[in-house]
Structure 1
C-alpha cells in the first residue's frame, strides 16, 4: 500500500471568515476546501503546510498550532493518507489566482456562518473550521 502524507492550513480572520480554495481535477466539478497538498522531498509537514498555502493562495503564513490529523484510505485504491491540519495566520502576500492552474478556480474568504451553504470537498472540515470561530 502506498502512503500519501500532506498538510492543510486553516486560516480564520477577525471577521470569522475562513480562507478557502475552489479546486478540483481538470474537467471535474470544483469544490471548496482549505489550502492543502502533499509533502515534497525532505520537507516536514509544517514546511508542506506553509508551501502549499502559498502555492494555492499567494499568501505567506505562519503556523500557530497543530489542530488534528485525518487518516484513512482512498476508496477503490491501495493508497492510505495522512493529512495534518494546522491553524495558520497570514503574515504577507496577497491573494493570487495563478493563470494556467487547472486545479484551482478561485480563492476567497468565506463567512464561517455560511459554510453549510457551500459545496465542500470534505464536509466534515466544517466542524473543525467552526471550532476556530472567534466568539
Structure 2
C-alpha cells in the first residue's frame, strides 16, 4: 500500500550559477526554450529526480543544458516565494560553481542557447533569478 501524504508536496528544483574567476567575472546563463519565460535568460536548472540530491540535480541540469561539467558546487540558498514559478508551488535550491575562465557551452535539452555574460552587464532574468544572482555574487566574493 502506497503512503498518502496529508500535506501538499511542492516541486523541488535546483539551479546552478557558474561564475568565472577572471578580472571581469562572467556568469553562465541559458535562454529558456520553453514556457514559462520562453526566450528569457535564466540559470541552468530543473526538477529534481526522486533518486538524487539537490546538489546532484544542479550538476546534472548544468551538464544537460550547457554541456559544462563541474564536480564541486556550494549551496547559495533555498528560494521559496509562493509565487516564484507560474507552473505551481516550487522550491529551488541554488548552487554556485566557480571556474577559472569561460568554457565552451551549447544550449541543449530545453535550453535554446547558453552564453557567458559579464557580471556588470546582465540581462533581465526569469523567475526570481535576480535574487539568486545577488546572493551568488555575495558568496562568490567570499569564496574566490
TM bucket by the smaller chain? 0.7 to 0.9
Q: Paired residues, what number?
A: 129
Decide whether aligned partners of structure 1 residues 42 and 27 sit closer, same or farther in structure 2, where only a CA change above 3 A counts: closer
Given the two structures, how large is their TM-score scaled by the length of structure 1? 0.78
For the pair 1:86 / 2:95, whether they are aligned, the reply is yes
Runs of at least 5 residues in structure 2 that lack an aligned partner in the other structure: 1-7
Alignment-derived partner of residue 45 in structure 1: 54
- Between Structure 1 and Structure 2, the one with more strand by share is 1
> Which deviations, in whole Å up to 9, do the C-alpha atoms of 1:76-132 show, x marking residues without a partner?
9793221011112459x841233xx5x4221111000112xx121133233124322
Distance 1:88 1:76 in 2: 23
Partner secondary structure for residue 56 of structure 1: helix
Decide whether aligned partners of structure 1 residues 95 and 126 sit closer, same or farther in structure 2, where only a CA change above 3 A counts: same
Matches within 5 A, 1:1-135: 1-15=8-22, 16-25=25-34, 29-74=38-83, 79-89=88-98, 94-98=104-108, 101=109, 103-115=110-122, 118-121=123-126, 122=128, 123-131=130-138, 132-133=140-141
**Structure with bigger gyration radius:** 2
Distance 1:128 1:19 in 2: 15
Given the two structures, how large is their TM-score scaled by the length of structure 2? 0.74
Distance 1:66 1:76 in 2: 20
Aligned Cα root-mean-square deviation (Å): 3.0
Runs of at least 5 residues in structure 1 that lack an aligned partner in the other structure: none
